[in-house]
Amino acid sequence: MIDSHCHPIAAAGGSLDLSAVGLDIEAGAEADQRRRRLGPGRLWHELLQVRLAAHLGCAVEGLAEARAEASRDWPAYVRRLFRHAELEGLVVDPGWGGHATAGLAVTAAAAGVPIRPILRLEPVLDSAIAEGATAWECATALEAAVREAAAEGYRGLKSIAAYRTGLAIDPSADLGRAEASLRRDRDLPVRRRGKACRDWLLRAALGWAADLDWPVQMHTGFGDSELRLAEANPLLLDDLLLTSEGRGATVVLIHGGYPWHEAVAHLATVRPNVYAECSLVPLFAPGLVADRLLRILELAPAAKVLLGTDGHGQPETHWFAARTLQDAFCAVRDRCHALGARPSWVDEVETAIFRANTARLYGL
């Protein structure tokens, strides 16, 4: 499998604290306590522990010590996990930096597979806005970051607009309104500041990506506790997708738009340049992955669907999500056979979504 969306791994091993991994990312001692109390009650947490214990040949109760011991040689440990998950390549967003992640080079070396980094737009914009930059200065900073990333071998863009001012991007935002929005919103937190500026520049970035032949990953659907889910509905993107920039760029709607799978499938079906990607779901919502995949594959062409893990920090997250996707596809296969699809057709779908589509889009 080629992972179409993930993040760097931690810089070193040790005992694994799964309660620190998850969608509740509030800071503080009280939140830490809550995560420790509630963590083991999550289905993915239970399944990952059980499967990792089987992989390491220990009891779940002895997992912390067994993992610490097994991960002493960190690159060897990571490689074994990635081999077991049949991960052959990674599209990595290094813009997520929790838990002292290693850099791209360290991630590639430890994983032992080729990687393609993508540039997250919002950190560049957030720093410019926080420093009081004008809209024009924000545009200059963003364009320079894209140029620099291209020179460093990056192969795509990523936007978390859903985590900022939402996916209802106004295509009529221009320089004048962008500037006015920055001046007006000075008292708001940076993340909620300058909607017109963010909208104007996201549209511009789609144009730059089209020129570079880079895919643009757009966060859609569920995410961590900083997200307002109602602002992450993929259908809100329609106005942007109908602009010339929105039609010109390859737009990848990530996380299957959870829970709006049919909406993502529809957009991938009717817009020639839009793709549906299914990372994060197999990691944090592993119980119904086959059903969710079928909700997308019953409508969208297989050539428009990509699979990813959203693994981040601990390499077991990449491993667990990849294994979950592979298991889920067995159920998808059975269901397609039962419906009457030919085995050769299902084989082609499997190759397309696990490997070929991501390889084609990111040059892997």
Note the residues at the interface with Zn ion (CB under 5 A). 310
Smallest separation (angstroms) from Zn ion to the CB of 284: 11
Cα torsion 324, 329, 332, 334: sign: negative
Closer residue to Zn ion in complex, CB, 70/149: 149
For every residue of 24-57, DSSP letters joined together read ----SHHHHHHHHHHGGGSHHHHHHHHHHHHHHT
- Torsion, Cα of 38, 40, 42, 44 (10° steps): 150
Closer residue to Zn ion in complex, CB, 48/254: 254
Smallest separation (angstroms) from Zn ion to the CB of 5: 6
Smallest separation (angstroms) from Zn ion to the CB of 344: 33
Nearest-angstrom CA–CA distance, 234 and 34: 31
Cβ–Cβ under 8 Å, residues 141 and 128: yes
Smallest separation (angstroms) from Zn ion to the CB of 158: 8
Smallest separation (angstroms) from Zn ion to the CB of 117: 13
Smallest separation (angstroms) from Zn ion to the CB of 234: 16
Closer residue to Zn ion in complex, CB, 310/316: 310
**Cα diameter, the chain:** 62
Closer residue to Zn ion in complex, CB, 55/164: 164
Cβ–Cβ under 8 Å, residues 133 and 190: no
Cβ–Cβ under 8 Å, residues 93 and 6: yes
Closer residue to Zn ion in complex, CB, 277/310: 310
Closer residue to Zn ion in complex, CB, 10/66: 10
Cα torsion 214, 364, 9, 293: sign: positive
Closest CB to Zn ion belongs to which residue?
A: 310
Smallest separation (angstroms) from Zn ion to the CB of 188: 25
CA geometry: angle 149, 224, 43, nearest 5 deg: 120
- Those residues whose C-beta lies under 8 Å from the C-beta of residue 31, and which sit 6 or more positions away, are 24
Q: State phi, psi for 45 to the nearest 5 degrees.
A: -60, -45
Give me Rg for the CA atoms of the chain: 20
Closer residue to Zn ion in complex, CB, 122/310: 310
